[in-house]
Amino acid sequence: MNSWVPLLPEETTAADNAAPLDITRLLTTITDNLVGMIYRCRIDAIWTMEYVSEGCHKLTGYRPDELVFNNRVSYDEITLPEDRERVGLTIRSALDAGETFDVEYRIRRADGRVRWVLERGVGLRDAYGRLAWIEGFIQDISERMAANEALQEAVRRYRSLFQNATEGIFQTTPEGRYLDANPALAQIYGHRDPAALIAHLQDISRQLYVLPERRAEFVRLMREQGVVRNFESQAYRCDGSIIWISENARAVKDPDGKVQFYEGTVIDITERKQHEAALEHQASHDSLTGLPNRSLLRDRIDQAIVKAKRDNHLVAVVFVDLDHFKLINDSLGHHVGDRLLLEVATRLAGCVRTHDSVARQGGDEFVIVLTEQHDENEVLALVSRLLEVISQPWVDGGQEYGLSCSVGVSCYPRDGSNPDELLRCADAAMYKAKASGRSTYHFYTPELNQVISERLELENSLRHALERNELRVYYQPRIEVASGRLVGAEALLRWDCPGRGLIPPDSFISIAEETGLIIPIGQWVLQEACRQNSAWQQAGLPPICISVNISPIQFRHAGLAMSVSGALAQAGLPASCLELELTESFVMHDAERINVCMQSLKVLGVDIAVDDFGTGYSSLSYLKRFPVDRLKIDKSFVRDIDIDPDDAAIVRAIISLGHSLGLKVVAEGVEERAHMEFLHKHGCDEMQGYYFSRPLPPADMEALLRSLAGDGCRSAQDPHPADPFLCMKENSE
């Protein structure tokens, strides 16, 4: 009992003197007011209480007298049956060992509620030294238990979150060692389980981060801000593969502010990064060829300029435009056009060094950026190689195609100081190359701006040429070699452009083709030639067959047959008086479709001639299959027919080939008597050229027809069959 007696202070107060200390009363006060129950019980089967303090009522709901000596209920009864055995065992083993015991269990109160209690007690021996009682204290710990339970539940919940999270969760030391990791993190980094990850990753900065400086940056942010957010880095997985991760983490500090560890989450963002990269690639690259597109091209030029400034080099911007691409694309179809562009992209890429760039600017335009150039000769060497590489024949679907391109070059710093200026100059130079006959290159000079603006002006004026009635059809006679008779004429387009005079077709047909204006213009030529021919016939002039040139773009256009039959019907002209000329190079491609189209024209009754024969890359076997009536030998073979044995041999071969296929052969560009005599000698059927007449305006052609009608027909035996035409030369253009 001594231990219960408080020590008295040496100095006492006035109050102490007034009321002497009554220890028994003090203890009773304490005992009665304790939250909990002080007890003494027997060590029997039902823990018979001999004494319980006032706290009993609050603890159990029973009054002390109801519990003492089991008056109403025994303590064993109020102990929850499930806990009784455990409680008994715990107490008895402590008593046996002579120790105090602590035991937690549940009781059922008088009101039926179950409460958790903590009992703490010690055994007491009787006068014979036998263990007879227990004295102790029982307190309600339900609230603490509930709080504990809630804590346990929270821990379980957080553990489950940690275990099952799809995000990786980690705790690491600032030095880079793992303290804890969840299964998701192990999975992200390719480890069997967190333990394997923790065992393997001993040095995060070198084993995990592809760039160790990212870890340094992570630690720096942690030190300065205590957190990192959406921190993206590349990381090695266990198998060495590389992934992208995004981390959110914070530094956890002890109360003294010292960093204990880092904790945070990791997500694998590889897919998103790949998607972003794909989108970025898409936005900056051409989908067909995979080459950089317009916007990336500008970046590349910018970068090249920065570097050239520093190293005192040149940058060359080389504009490459395929010749006649629109024709190929329109006449052979987009699938062939696409394959051709891919081929060209590959060829161009093969011409440059790794630090140069090849980009597709759009359509059939490619741009090469040459860096680290010392002088123009170096640029020129590449341009020459490029022209040669592109001009190699291209084989597609068993068909061989001739390719060529026109190239314009501008150089930094001479021609411009930014991408736009350099591209504009290279473009202008490219147009100059095209105008100089294609398949060539041109370097930019300031005078070129003039050329470009003229071309644009021409294009604009051409748009109005039809409605302003500025187009004319000239007629060039075609002569039968054997008889010297005028048997036909070729309708040749001219443009009477105000302020520019008569413009020849070579200067504007390609613009008309590129802009699509060739469709209405070509239809107008057809109608005009048919109308004129019919008018001459109605005026009683000898009937002739007029041939009209058809652009491949018209040929591909679905409405050609209808347009031809419409022109014939409108003019009231027999179909036998109309012939259509198709250029060889395009006749021979896409044979099946062209055959179908030709057949539909043949059904109308018109003749078909292959123009400029010998210049294209045709497969002769198609000639047999196509419903063709005439071959027109290109004038380039005729020009030197009398002096160049090769040309002579070619022309002889074409004549005999044509005849063996049952076709008539026409020679173009007959300028001299010697040409005519050669053709006469080798059995060419018809001829056309300045020797007889230049293309004539309709009135002159009519006069010629009239004079011939008066003269009657020349005979084949006439030693000078072409003489009547000589007089016409003065009247022609």
Handedness of CA 422, 428, 433, 438 (dihedral sign): positive
**C-alpha to C-alpha distance for 682 and 654, rounded to whole angstroms:** 11
114-125 sheet: strands from edge to edge: 49-52, 37-42, 131-140, 114-125, 101-108
SS3 content of the chain, % helix, strand, coil (to 5): 45, 25, 30
**C-alpha to C-alpha distance for 300 and 359, rounded to whole angstroms:** 9
Residue with tokens 């057809």: 526
Question: Strand 686-687 relative to strand 471-480: parallel, antiparallel, unpaired?
Answer: antiparallel
Q: Tell which one of 64, 522, 614, 724 touches ligand C2E (CB under 6 A).
A: 522
Q: For residue 543, what is the DSSP state?
A: P
Q: Tell which one of 579, 607, 612, 700 touches Mg ion (CB under 5 A).
A: 612
697 makes contact with ligand C2E (CB under 6 A):
no
Q: Tell which one of 212, 226, 505, 542 touches ligand C2E (CB under 6 A).
A: 505
Binding range to ligand C2E, per CB under 6 A, among 30-38, 103-111, 383-391, 500-508: 500-508
Partner residues linked to 245 by β-bridges: 233, 268
Q: For residue 504, what is the DSSP state?
A: P
Q: Tell which one of 214, 478, 635, 714 touches ligand C2E (CB under 6 A).
A: 635
Judged by CB under 5 A, how many residues of this single chain contact Mg ion? 5
Smaller CB distance to ligand C2E: residue 235 or 525?
525
Name the CA dihedral angle for 305, 306, 308, 309, rounded to a multiple of 10 degrees: 110
Binding range to Mg ion, per CB under 5 A, among 299-307, 315-323, 430-438, 611-619: 611-619
Binding range to ligand C2E, per CB under 6 A, among 72-80, 185-193, 314-322, 689-697: 689-697
With CB under 5 to 8 Å by kind, the binding choice for 542 among Mg ion, ligand C2E, none is none
Of 379-418, binders to ligand C2E (CB under 6 A) are none
Q: Tell which one of 135, 180, 263, 671 touches ligand C2E (CB under 6 A).
A: 671
Angstrom CA distances, 221 to 180, 225, 718, stand at 21, 6, 104
Return the H-helix or E-strand segment holding 104: strand 101-108
**C-alpha to C-alpha distance for 519 and 4, rounded to whole angstroms:** 120
Smaller CB distance to Mg ion: residue 66 or 634?
634
Smaller CB distance to ligand C2E: residue 689 or 721?
689
Q: Which residues, in sequence order, are CB contacts of 710 under 8 Å at separation 6+? A: none
Question: Strand 607-613 relative to strand 578-583: parallel, antiparallel, unpaired?
Answer: parallel
492 makes contact with ligand C2E (CB under 6 A):
yes
Minimum gap (Å) between residue 291 Cβ and Mg ion: 37
Binding range to ligand C2E, per CB under 6 A, among 144-152, 370-378, 502-510, 536-544: 502-510
With CB under 5 to 8 Å by kind, the binding choice for 529 among ligand C2E, Mg ion, none is none
For the chain, counts of helices (H) and of strands (E)? 30, 26
Q: For residue 37, what is the DSSP state?
A: E
Of residues 193, 172, 171, the one with CA closest to residue 183: 193
Could you tell me if 323 and 434 are in contact, meaning their C-beta atoms sit under 8 angstroms apart? Answer: yes
Binding range to ligand C2E, per CB under 6 A, among 51-59, 68-76, 324-332, 686-694: 686-694
Smaller CB distance to Mg ion: residue 169 or 631?
631
Smaller CB distance to ligand C2E: residue 79 or 551?
551
With CB under 5 to 8 Å by kind, the binding choice for 622 among ligand C2E, Mg ion, none is none
State the DSSP string of 286-344: -TTT--B-HHHHHHHHHHHHHHHHHHT-EEEEEEEEETTHHHHHHHH-HHHHHHHHHHH
For 685, phi then psi, to 5°, come to: -80, -45
Minimum gap (Å) between residue 525 Cβ and ligand C2E: 4
Minimum gap (Å) between residue 377 Cβ and ligand C2E: 36
Binding range to ligand C2E, per CB under 6 A, among 5-13, 259-267, 396-404, 662-670: 662-670
Q: Tell which one of 66, 668, 685, 700 touches ligand C2E (CB under 6 A).
A: 668
With CB under 5 to 8 Å by kind, the binding choice for 631 among ligand C2E, Mg ion, none is none
Of 656-675, binders to Mg ion (CB under 5 A) are 668
With CB under 5 to 8 Å by kind, the binding choice for 504 among Mg ion, ligand C2E, none is ligand C2E
**C-alpha to C-alpha distance for 45 and 34, rounded to whole angstroms:** 27
Minimum gap (Å) between residue 504 Cβ and ligand C2E: 4
Q: Tell which one of 64, 695, 721, 724 touches ligand C2E (CB under 6 A).
A: 695
**C-alpha to C-alpha distance for 249 and 214, rounded to whole angstroms:** 14
Q: Tell which one of 425, 493, 546, 575 touches ligand C2E (CB under 6 A).
A: 493
Partner residues linked to 235 by β-bridges: 209, 243
Binding mask 574-593 toward Mg ion (x if CB under 5 A, else -) reads -------x------------
Q: Tell which one of 68, 318, 369, 509 touches ligand C2E (CB under 6 A).
A: 509
Binding mask 348-387 toward Mg ion (x if CB under 5 A, else -) reads ----------------------------------------
Question: Residue type at 456?
Answer: L
With CB under 5 to 8 Å by kind, the binding choice for 702 among Mg ion, ligand C2E, none is none
Question: Residue type at 403?
Answer: L
Q: For residue 438, what is the DSSP state?
A: S
How far out from the chain centre does Cα 386 lie? Answer: 27
Smaller CB distance to ligand C2E: residue 169 or 509?
509
Judged by CB under 6 A, how many residues of this single chain contact ligand C2E? 23
Binding range to ligand C2E, per CB under 6 A, among 44-52, 136-144, 299-307, 663-671: 663-671
Handedness of CA 597, 601, 607, 612 (dihedral sign): negative
**C-alpha to C-alpha distance for 344 and 349, rounded to whole angstroms:** 8
506 makes contact with ligand C2E (CB under 6 A):
yes
686 makes contact with Mg ion (CB under 5 A):
no
Binding mask 540-569 toward ligand C2E (x if CB under 6 A, else -) reads ---------x-x------------------
Angstrom CA distances, 360 to 14, 227, 296, 519, stand at 107, 45, 10, 28
Give me the residue whose beta carbon is nearest to ligand C2E: 689
Of 539-558, binders to Mg ion (CB under 5 A) are 549
Binding mask 578-617 toward ligand C2E (x if CB under 6 A, else -) reads ---x-----------------------------xx-----
Minimum gap (Å) between residue 675 Cβ and ligand C2E: 8
Structure tokens, 579: 């012939």
Minimum gap (Å) between residue 680 Cβ and ligand C2E: 16
Angstrom CA distances, 597 to 23, 362, 523, 607, stand at 128, 31, 17, 13
* Residues forming the site for Mg ion (CB under 5 A): 549, 581, 611-612, 668
Residues interacting with ligand C2E, by CB under 6 A?
476, 492-493, 504-506, 509, 522, 525, 549, 551, 581, 611-612, 635, 668-671, 688-690, 695
